[in-house]
A and B are shown apart, each in its own frame.
Chain A
């Protein structure tokens, strides 16, 4: 199984809502990533978990809160988002917990903040 799955595919939320994005992989990968991608731009790294520990936080606002419950799951908790946070949120994973390995991306969650 070389698939990374993400739910939901689409999400519309108000600025006062709390929601969560979910990501799952069963490839035994030990590094998992969250990226944000705006239209016609490259993916922007938000967080990296390596062996279930947060190893990189790219100065992301606290309204985004990552969580890695186990080696297969990655969540992104959202609270009090702004309209400019509307984007495609991509999850990825790579083996061995090292960022220089090839990354497998999920299909993404398209988030709209109203």
Chain B
């Protein structure tokens, strides 16, 4: 199955700046999940989006599912050093279970 691209691949931000990662699919998805993996750690589930245009918030994190259910984004407001890690999307559709390529976030204190 084709791997879903995430952009950017890397993002370095000053602490307090915002951060956004995008997950783009060429096919319509049934739902999408987001995971965070800290350096040296394992993936941890963050959220699942199911409905077209869905927006969910978790404190400083905002997750969106596109109207066409082909793309999704994760936005972090006012980043903190605890946000460091790689963020992966996991899209569900007709293709096999394949994580997105990931976006690695580093924070400059």
Contacts and interface: CB of A to CB of B under 8 A. Distances in A.
Contacts of B33: 102-103
B44 interface: yes
A27 interface: no
Interface in B84-103: 88, 90, 92, 96-102
Contact of B99 (A40, A42, A102, A106): A42
A111 interface: no
Contacts, number: 45
A96 B104 CA distance: 31
A108 interface: yes
B42 interface: yes
Given A102-B33, A103-B45, A45 B100 contact: no
Interface of B: 3, 30-31, 33, 35, 41-45, 48, 88, 90, 92, 96-102, 104
11 contacts: A40-B104, A42-B98, A42-B99, A42-B100, A44-B99, A48-B97, A92-B43, A100-B30, A103-B43, A103-B90, A108-B42
Interface of A: 40-45, 48, 56, 58, 90, 92, 99-100, 102-108
